[in-house]
Amino acid sequence: QKEVEQNSGPLSVPEGAIASLNCTYSDRGSQSFFWYRQYSGKSPELIMFIYSNGDKEDGRFTAQLNKASQYVSLLIRDSQPSDSATYLCAVTDDYKLSFGAGTTVTVRA
């Protein structure tokens, strides 16, 4: 079983809608959780991280963490065409940073 699993996608949402991305992880020792965005042909870039249970908001993005369920999600509100990208969930323990396979999001104008 892969350490980090993401909903497979692709996910298509209309402009202005909410995009919801999900991620589960297998290692209960995981300490911090990250969402990266990767445009086609480019390197991943950090959107936000979360390490405590609950919600964390940054602009149009909200990360949610539930350690008991080993689940982390990302909501993108008021989706824009510029949000069209692959979103990568990542988790870290003391030693390494592991990624999920990514979910590709397309925002329809």
Partner 1 sequence: TAGITQAPTSQILAAGRSMTLRCTQDMRHNAMYWYRQDLGLGLRLIHYSNTAGTTGKGEVPDGYSVSRANTDDFPLTLASAVPSQTSVYFCASSDSPGVNTEAFFGQGTRLTVV
Rounded to whole angstroms, the Cα distance separating 36 from 101 reads 12
**Strand ranges inside 26-102, DSSP E:** 32-38, 45-50, 54-58, 61-66, 71-76, 85-92, 97-99
Site map 16..45 versus partner 1, x via CB under 8 A? ---------------xx-x--------xxx
The answer to the question of residue 99 lying near partner 1 (CB under 8 A) is yes
How many Å separate Cα 52 from the centre of its chain? Answer: 15
The span of 19-27, 54-62, 65-73, 95-103 binding partner 1 (CB under 8 A) equals 95-103
Residues that bind partner 1 (CB under 8 A): 3, 6, 31-32, 34, 43-46, 49, 51, 88, 90, 92-102
